[in-house]
Structures are given as C-alpha cells and as structure tokens.
Copies of this chain bind each other. A is one copy, B any other.
Amino acid sequence: MIVKTEGGVTAAKGFSAAGCAAGIKKPGVDDMAMIVSETPCVLAGTFTTNVVKAAPVIWDRDIVRKGRGSAVVINAGVANACTGQTGMEYCAATAEAASEALKVEPDTVLVASTGVIGRQLPIDKITEGVRVLAGSLSDTAEAAGRAARAIMTTDTVPKQAAVSVTFSDGTTAFVGGMAKGSGMIHPNMCTMLCFITTDACISGGLLQEALSSVVPDTFNMVSVDGDTSTNDTCLVLANGLAENRAITEKDSDYELFREALLQVSTSLARMMAKDGEGATCLFECIVKGAASKEDAKVLARSVVSSNLTKAMIAGHDANFGRVLCALGYSGVQFDPSAVSLWLESKAGSVPVYERGTPLSFDEDYATAVLSEDEVRCIADMGAGDAWAAAWGCDLTYDYVRINADYRS
C-alpha cells in the first residue's frame, strides 16, 4: 500500500535536514542546505548527460560508484560548473568541512551546486555554512521545508513530495524528496537537483535499478526551455531504518518501492514543470496510440519543448497546427492522416483535429479551456497502443525577463 503524506527529505526515519543563509546570494537569503542520515546509506544517482559536467556531478558520481553516503551539502547561487581543477578542490574542501562537523568519512559526503556557471564558489562562506548547518539539523517537516527553500534559484515555490509504503511483512517505510529546477530544464538522465531519502531497506543495486527505471518516465519527461544543464543530479539515499525485510530481489516489495519512488518523482517532476521560469501554467502532453513507448515519449516531449506550442499556451490560443508541427519534426515517423488531437483542462475538452482533418470548434470555449493553470494536449497517433506523458509550461515575457537579467 502506498499513501501520500506530508513532508520531504525528513519524512523517512533517521534523516535530518537544515537550511541557512551563508552569504552566497543576497545577505539573509537562505542559500545552503544539508541532508544527513544518522546511519550510513546505500546510494543511487543519475546525472546530467551534458559533456560539460559540473564539478559536483563528477564528485558525486564517484561516491555513488563507491556506494556509501551519509550526508549531502547543497548550495545555490553558484553552480561550480566550468571551474576547472579549482572546482574539484572546492568539492573536496566542502566534504572535508562536513566530515569534521558531522564526524563522518569525507568520501561519504555528497555535494551539489546550482546557480551561475563559470564562477568559482566562495569557499570560505561555504565551509562556514557547513558548520552552521551541522549545528542546526532537525528531523522535523519544518527543517525539510527550509532545506527545500534554500536550494531554490529562480524557483518560486519549494518542491517536496513524500509517500509511505507498506511492505509484505507489514513494515512501513517512507520515501520523501525535494527538488529544485525552473530554468535550464530539459533533463537528460535527471533533473536539475533532486534529493530523495528513504528508510526502506534495499540493496544498492536495486535502489539504482529502481531509480534508473523511474527517471526516464518522470524527470526526463520535463522540459522548461530545452537546455540540458551541466549540474543535473538526482540522488536517493536509503538508510534501512524502516527495518522491513531487506529488498534484495525483484519481488512484490521491490515493485511497491519502485511505485513509491515513481509517485514521488512524478509529483516533483510536475511541480518543476509548473514552476518553469516565468510560467503561469503546467502544460501536459499525453501521446497515445503510438507505435512504441519510445515513440510516444519522443513525440510528447517534442510538443512540450516547442517554443511555439508554449507561446500558444501562454496566449490561450488553440493554434493546434503548432502541435502537429512539433509532432512532425520530433524524429518519429508516423502517418499524419491517422492523427487526432484534443485540448483539455478542468474547464472542458475540445476536439480540434480528427484523423488528418481540422475540426471547427468554438474559439471562445477553447480559450477558456486553455486559460486554466493546468492544461493538457492529447494526441492519438492512430498507430498502436503505446502512450507517454510529458510536462512543460507556457513561454511568457517573464521567462525572457528572468534570463536576460539572470546574473544582475
């Protein structure tokens, strides 16, 4: 059984968190966070496929390979990307500071950064921040919330999700996470920054397998602006304190755990799309009737990634030809005369195109349907049974404003 609950990274037993203002951003604004487990965790991670990988991505990948983690230190404001050897040294210095403050091994400390690319971290502020964070850890929902706020950059809301999952032996574990991401969001392997904790007892191999199977259908189906970041990182820490019978094979408990992870990841992915830079709404595309799952995914992601469909959503304008155009250049082969389209939201549903022919529809009604804060485009490709969902947002003046001014 899986039940949605409140909270984020401290929902699972044995995890505490903190946020603080370390002075990287404006004075007094929280810009660092920490997650700590009271016992060592097995780890899973997925990272950006960008050839230009930020220093923390390289650092964390090594730690995930080694397999043991006890803490994560995160900063916003500076991404520690394109920073050469100095960037790697600053990852080590951050981990060393956490090691001293928390009495853990430095090679079990994960680090993550988000912010401006091509600038060095203010390392003295970072190491001082680590000491402050270590002194203010708490396992409350408030602490998780403060940590989720501290990792925001252009995000307008913190993003947390958690579920409880009851296994076959009657024990209950929690899976909870936080994420940030608003611009430079077009994840490929993973989203900007996402941290999920669980007290489930599961082997490191199966934890990675579960994460790797969930990411392609969740975070990798989000696009805000088509730009795959240098820093994309998704980490899962599992400390086993739920004391369920250890998950060491792909049995029903593994499936339950995977489903719990899928639900948390889907919630965080949708929150990220809805909070896309400048966005006023979540733009979901569901492609069904596709010849294969992979086709459905490529088609759905092409629609939510198009600047023109996104501007159409911003204008509440049922200019559905742009959806057909985006399906057409996705790279997937299909028969245009078999395609049908609907636009919908909680205000209603408007069929606009049926098997290759435009339909007439009430423009005012269509505008009303597209004026909700969550709108959906459904494409039936008429080619098979496969389906997929992708999430994006509208393209507004504010996206341009935010990104023309980002560093100032």
Contact = CB atoms under 8 A, between A and B. Distances in A.
Interface of A: 49-53, 79, 81-84, 116-120, 183-184, 186, 188, 225-230, 305-308, 311-312, 314-315, 317, 319-322, 324-330, 332-334, 336-337, 352-353, 356-358, 395-397, 399-408
A321 B51 contact: no
Contacts of A225: 307-308
A31 B314 CA distance: 28
A407 B118 contact: no
B52 A324 contact: yes
B403 A400 contact: no
Given A51-B333, A225-B308, 6 more contacts: A81-B325, A82-B321, A83-B358, A230-B328, A317-B408, A395-B400
19 contacts: A51-B328, A51-B329, A81-B321, A82-B353, A118-B352, A118-B358, A119-B321, A184-B322, A225-B307, A225-B308, A227-B306, A228-B325, A307-B403, A311-B404, A315-B403, A315-B406, A317-B404, A317-B406, A319-B406
A367 to B, nearest CB: 10
A55 to B, nearest CB: 11
Nearest to A408: B317
Residue from A306, A324, A403 whose CB has the most chain B CB atoms within 10 Å: A403
Contact of A314 (B325, B328, B333, B404): B404
A186 B329 CA distance: 10
A377 to B, nearest CB: 14
A308 B401 contact: no
A307 B356 contact: no
Number of copies: 2
A366 B112 CA distance: 30
Contact of A336 (B51, B229, B353, B400): B51
A321 B116 contact: yes
Contacts of A399: 307, 311, 400
A356 B321 contact: no
A83 B314 CA distance: 25
B334 A51 contact: yes
Given A51-B333, A229-B325, A322-B117, A404 B312 contact: yes
A291 to B, nearest CB: 13
A329 B84 contact: no
B311 A400 contact: yes
A356 B116 CA distance: 16
Contacts of A81: 321, 324-325
Contacts of A315: 403-406
Nearest to A231: B325
What DSSP secondary structure best describes chain A's contact surface? loop
B319 A407 contact: yes
A325 B52 contact: yes
Contacts of A118: 319-321, 324, 352-353, 358
Contacts of A83: 357-358
A79 to B, nearest CB: 7
Contacts of A314: 400, 403-404
Contacts of A400: 311, 314, 395-397, 399-400
A232 to B, nearest CB: 10
A405 B305 CA distance: 19
B119 A312 contact: no
Contacts of A308: 183-184, 225, 227, 403
Contacts of A227: 306-308, 322, 325-326, 329
